[in-house]
């Protein structure tokens, strides 16, 4: 068994798609609509058939409440693994608002950025990868 999909709620799906493809570097995987519902996912170009990230509209009270509760607690909505956090930080820093630049934690190196769509996202480089 493996994880196939994970979801984050976003304030604006078009804005989120642009951010996650143009700034983060993911690729659009699925994009289709059924009436007012839009199914939108991105994936890592390093693993295009791996786990997808659904960029779900926060247009329901529950989705919006969940997204805002995470943000109010300063809790990342997602965590992305990287093998070179400093290079990713340098690549993204002029186009992403990093709320926490890379720093050393006991077992990893960590940074956090705002995805411009209502979420905090954490980058993590495990020290075993260094």
Interval 6-46: pLDDT, tens: 999 999 999 999 999 999 999 999 999 999 999 999 999 99
Q: Total structural domains in the chain?
A: 1
CATH of residue 22's domain is 3.10.180.10
Q: What is the mean pLDDT of residues 39-64?
A: 95
35-38: long-range contacts, CB 8 A cutoff, minimum separation 24: 38/13
Q: CA torsion 30→95→66→42, rounded to 10°?
A: 10
Residue 86 domain boundaries = 5-129
pTM for the model stands at 0.93
Predicted confidence at residue 122, as pLDDT, reads 98
Q: Give the angle 49-54-82 at the CA atoms, nearest 5°.
A: 60
Q: Using DSSP, state whether 76 is helix, strand or coil.
A: coil
Give the model confidence (pLDDT) of 84-110 as tens digits. Answer: 999 999 999 999 999 999 999 999 999
**Rounded-to-integer distance, Cα 108 and Cα 123, Å:** 10
Provide the pLDDT for residue 130. 52
Residues 50-73 have a mean pLDDT of 94
Count of residues in the chain: 130
Q: Please say whether the beta carbons of 33 and 39 come within 8 A.
A: yes
> Which residues is 122 bridged to in the sheet?
79, 112
């Amino acid at each position: 068994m493996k994880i196939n999909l994970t979801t984050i709620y976003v304030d604006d799906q078009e804005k989120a798609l642009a951010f996650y493809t143009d700034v983060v570097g993911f690729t659009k995987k699925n994009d289709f609509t059924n009436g007012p519902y839009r199914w939108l996912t991105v994936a890592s170009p390093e693993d295009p058939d791996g786990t997808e990230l659904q960029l779900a509209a926060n247009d329901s009270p529950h989705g919006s409440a969940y997204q805002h509760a995470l943000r109010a607690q300063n809790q990342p909505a997602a965590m992305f693994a990287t093998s070179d956090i400093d290079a990713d930080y340098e690549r993204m820093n002029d186009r992403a608002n990093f709320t926490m630049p890379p720093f050393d934690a006991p077992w990893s190196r960590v940074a956090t950025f705002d995805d411009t769509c209502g979420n905090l996202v954490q980058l993590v480089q495990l020290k075993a990868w260094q």
